[in-house]
Structure 1
């Protein structure tokens, strides 16, 4: 009854005069539940739907892999749209609910197709038949229904991934140093909740779709996500809701246009001569002022006051804060670009590594481990290590660095990049051993399991799980904290875009490598392909990518914030960072 009462109060709003205490971890708990349930469904689909494409829709190995990576990439890339809508037209709460309902609709379509046999082709009897092209092909209408369901899910995810994490982070006031210091902890436990959901998805839901049917699995995804939306609604009365400040993309465009228009104006010698509004009732409703930085000086021209005031206006003159808001986005671009390749490596664990597992011995005694459940290994690593990171690693390292979070966000991301390179090198070594076992046992063309445990793949999965623990939390914290007050959802969406481009580039890389190498992946048989060479190539490229990241991180300068008077108190802060300068791995910034 208490839950129902809270849910109704969340939907209708409290009618009493008593104002509940807003924000904090109490409010974030509702976000954790929603994020966990949503991620449970999404990850279960992400790790296992490859087998649905191949075994139920009768797609080829290549088409199955490309369909998966394109779906995952689109879901993450569309988060930019979700973030834009959240910051411009809807609150983060409304965006989470409305886009979540679209995601539910997508799962409903997938459930219907999996349940009614006439909506999909007759499944293949075995893998060999599909490889040889002996199975019934899916029709255009059947594929249209599949893609409609998939991309409704992707479109829904675009809003929930952008808005829900930002909604939870909004519950901690960045103007209060004590609350701002809790943001890294919030993101750690946000990923902890999402990881817990992912573990359920890769075990229970994968077992269900493998043994009880895909219609039941999709149905559970539908119901659980809808329950998550109801729980999110139930917490509405205790949320701090963001104030819309108009389109962040329009503000960025204004700065670029005005900077070009003012390119010939003389540059002021003093910082205070650049245009800024310090009025309490001015445009910046959150009271956040960004002081002028020394980087990207050309953009400063957008804040130069013309000699005459007759042509002033939003497309003629910008504030320093608006200019700095644009600079933040521009400075973020090299960071996001240098993290993409790690997610190209991640895509291989969801495609080729899953396919590797189908050739290896999956039994522990009499229990058969489902191949799509292998991604539970990195999730378990994250699930176990995140509390240790928060309660052991951070306090110990804090004593040496003096940084409240132990290490800064860019350093955390860099550690993730290093570990991902190691993971790919280990993957290459494991695949080399798998190929040797196949040759030694004359099983190159055999459909039987090789005499090698599937848990050999656990090494690459575990290392990548630790890499993801550093990388994902660091990115979410970094892009949320560094974004201006009116761009928090868009900043969160930018972090997810790294995944999007990683998946898209995976498809391109596989095709290019296959063409340039003369055919590392042409036989449709992993025992004859050269997947180990591909893994070693990814490891080498990851090392080069880390070098690029070091340069980008050393150039980056953390955002500095001057906060306007709030209730008569003047505050200053720095988006959750204790230093004004940039830092990278082992580099003291400018």
Structure 2
């Protein structure tokens, strides 16, 4: 039986020449290692620009601060949302192997456009000074700028939607060692993502600030270009899942069939309804086996033998009348119905992670502004506030190997289970850490404001009237605490989400499901902007001054905002517990009671 399962796990996979993948020759940690190296280069190329792009738009494209910030937010949000497109195409029409190559080439072309514009003065708005007014980029130059940016966003989306799934596909679902190696892969995927980010926010940002943006864009262009031959070098070791058609079509088909059959049955209550079981008398089973023959070769999960009792409404999608099939053109198999149920059951988990990513958005906004008012010296070195993301990045790089090699084995010995810490437990730990991070951020802001008040009082200045151009006598390392907690939360949740979605999703929808991790990040950034606007609107109507407005940060009630985020995160965690405790892992039938 075990040998049969192992052999079946290799069916439905092909090598780079579209020939059947062979056990022992394709897949495994060696193949995944190429993906990890590529992730370093890819994330370096993306974050090298995204982390400092607002400065480029303000200083060289002469956009206003608010417009620059909005354009950066739109660019990053679009890039992460387009991961859904990359995941969809990987499942429906192409392999993850081909989607990565196509996406990397698109990102490369976009970076060439941006590099050329940064290099050639005639492609940028004229330089301005006290005697020359600044004219915002417009016309063909603006079209070139946004064409380059959104080609990069399209390429990044395709890469994010295909690369994690491609790496995870290299491991065997049906062996404990394969599942453990896949878990290790996701831990080191986040580690390599952080390695690329570290190089981006230190070396490349320094090059952009001191040598010119053409060099910064040039480094990103070289990085994504080099990633292509590195990826191709592993071609002979890869195995790729055969695309099995549009997962969205399957989802829509089941929902429509369930609705129509429900309406028909309500009008014809006397009609006989077939009992869907795996017995030979089930007239749907023959049809199901014929339709699912191809899909069965593409999945490593055992085909369900009967409809389950969860989301019973969808069971009607597989109901038929013995003598007169209803809407045979949208007839659904038991497997299709159960696959759609799984997708619907993971969506609440996805929704509960959005608030965490909303908290993470504060790292690149208010936390940087806090640090800018503080003493950023480390000995003789003055640290730019924009380089503060180095703290969570370094902490993730330290914690990821510790988690994989120390914490997880210890948890396996304690719990006597293969996973040690389940995916949902890991995500829950990340959500708890985000609550702690927001509480720490609020306490640090109270301390910063107290120092500011004492400093201005000693200097006979008003806190609100002072321009806050001089750094306060308090080290910016206080801000590092909230960075460390949020960095830890990101490690637990992102790696847990990627593995959870890949493991739980039906084989035909894995890339699309894994892309939800990136979509959660995008929605979290958008939600952060919405919450700030709502807070200002509400507090502006109920008090003399909105919490988050003023000439400088000392005018803000940022500590109140952080406490609000802490409360919202706590409520979100309770919401998460409601769904996580009731969730049944695919193929186990057990809930996450731990």
TM-score when scaled to structure 2? 0.86
TM-aligned CA deviation for residue 103 of structure 1:
1.2
Aligned to 2:316: 301
Partners of 1:235 and 1:338 in 2: how far apart?
36
Output one character per residue of 1:79-103: Cα deviation in whole Å (capped at 9) or x when no partner: 1111111111111011011011111
**Does the 8 A contact of 1:103 with 1:154 survive in 2?**
yes
1:373 aligns with 2:391: no
Output one character per residue of 1:365-405: Cα deviation in whole Å (capped at 9) or x when no partner: 33221222110110111100111111111111112212222
Please state whether the residue corresponding to 2:332 is helix, strand or coil: coil
Please state whether the residue corresponding to 1:452 is helix, strand or coil: strand
Aligned to 2:589: 580
**Does the 8 A contact of 2:15 with 2:240 survive in 1?**
no
TM-aligned CA deviation for residue 160 of structure 1:
0.5
Aligned to 1:50: 54
Aligned to 2:7: none
Partners of 1:536 and 1:238 in 2: how far apart?
50
TM-aligned CA deviation for residue 309 of structure 1:
5.5
Q: Which of residues 344, 358, 365 is equivalent to 1:351?
A: 365
Query: What CA RMSD, in Å, does the superposition of the two structures yield over aligned residues?
Result: 2.7
TM-aligned CA deviation for residue 538 of structure 1:
0.9
TM-aligned CA deviation for residue 162 of structure 1:
0.9
User: Is the alpha carbon distance of 1:231 and 1:322 closer, same or farther for their aligned partners in structure 2, counting shifts above 3 Å?
Assistant: same
User: Is the alpha carbon distance of 1:124 and 1:346 closer, same or farther for their aligned partners in structure 2, counting shifts above 3 Å?
Assistant: farther
Partners of 1:556 and 1:173 in 2: how far apart?
24
User: Is the alpha carbon distance of 1:506 and 1:18 closer, same or farther for their aligned partners in structure 2, counting shifts above 3 Å?
Assistant: closer
User: Is the alpha carbon distance of 1:123 and 1:290 closer, same or farther for their aligned partners in structure 2, counting shifts above 3 Å?
Assistant: farther
Partners of 2:386 and 2:427 in 1: how far apart?
27
1:420 aligns with 2:434: yes
Please state whether the residue corresponding to 2:442 is helix, strand or coil: helix
1:523 aligns with 2:523: no
**Does the 8 A contact of 1:303 with 1:323 survive in 2?**
yes
User: Is the alpha carbon distance of 1:200 and 1:66 closer, same or farther for their aligned partners in structure 2, counting shifts above 3 Å?
Assistant: same
1:32 aligns with 2:41: no
Q: Which has the larger radius of gyration?
A: 2
1:64 aligns with 2:78: no
Please state whether the residue corresponding to 1:559 is helix, strand or coil: coil
Number of equivalent positions: 549
TM-score when scaled to structure 1? 0.87
Partners of 2:18 and 2:253 in 1: how far apart?
40
Partners of 1:540 and 1:492 in 2: how far apart?
28
Partners of 1:178 and 1:211 in 2: how far apart?
48
Aligned to 1:139: 137
Partners of 2:22 and 2:530 in 1: how far apart?
57
Partners of 1:452 and 1:114 in 2: how far apart?
38
Partners of 1:20 and 1:326 in 2: how far apart?
33
Partners of 1:366 and 1:200 in 2: how far apart?
22
Partners of 1:527 and 1:497 in 2: how far apart?
34
User: Is the alpha carbon distance of 1:535 and 1:113 closer, same or farther for their aligned partners in structure 2, counting shifts above 3 Å?
Assistant: farther
TM-aligned CA deviation for residue 345 of structure 1:
0.9
Output one character per residue of 1:313-371: Cα deviation in whole Å (capped at 9) or x when no partner: 4x332111100111111111111111101111111111222233322222223322122
Partners of 2:64 and 2:548 in 1: how far apart?
13
1:324 aligns with 2:338: yes
1:82 aligns with 2:86: yes
User: Is the alpha carbon distance of 1:552 and 1:55 closer, same or farther for their aligned partners in structure 2, counting shifts above 3 Å?
Assistant: farther
Aligned to 2:277: 271
User: Is the alpha carbon distance of 1:260 and 1:13 closer, same or farther for their aligned partners in structure 2, counting shifts above 3 Å?
Assistant: closer
Partners of 2:371 and 2:142 in 1: how far apart?
27
- Gaps of at least 5 residues in structure 1 are 1-9, 561-578
Output one character per residue of 1:505-556: Cα deviation in whole Å (capped at 9) or x when no partner: 1111111111111122332422222222222211111111111111111232
Greater shift in the superposed pair: 412-421 or 518-527: 518-527
1:286 aligns with 2:298: yes
Please state whether the residue corresponding to 2:474 is helix, strand or coil: strand
TM-aligned CA deviation for residue 304 of structure 1:
1.7
Partners of 1:211 and 1:198 in 2: how far apart?
19
TM-aligned CA deviation for residue 159 of structure 1:
0.8
**Does the 8 A contact of 1:340 with 1:501 survive in 2?**
yes
Aligned to 2:185: 186
**Does the 8 A contact of 2:442 with 2:560 survive in 1?**
yes
Please state whether the residue corresponding to 2:98 is helix, strand or coil: helix
**Does the 8 A contact of 2:376 with 2:385 survive in 1?**
yes
Aligned to 2:3: none
**Does the 8 A contact of 1:274 with 1:320 survive in 2?**
no
**Does the 8 A contact of 1:172 with 1:180 survive in 2?**
yes
TM-aligned CA deviation for residue 137 of structure 1:
4.4
Q: How does 1:303-452 map to 2 (within 5 A)?
A: 303-308=318-323, 313=328, 315-442=329-456, 444-452=466-474
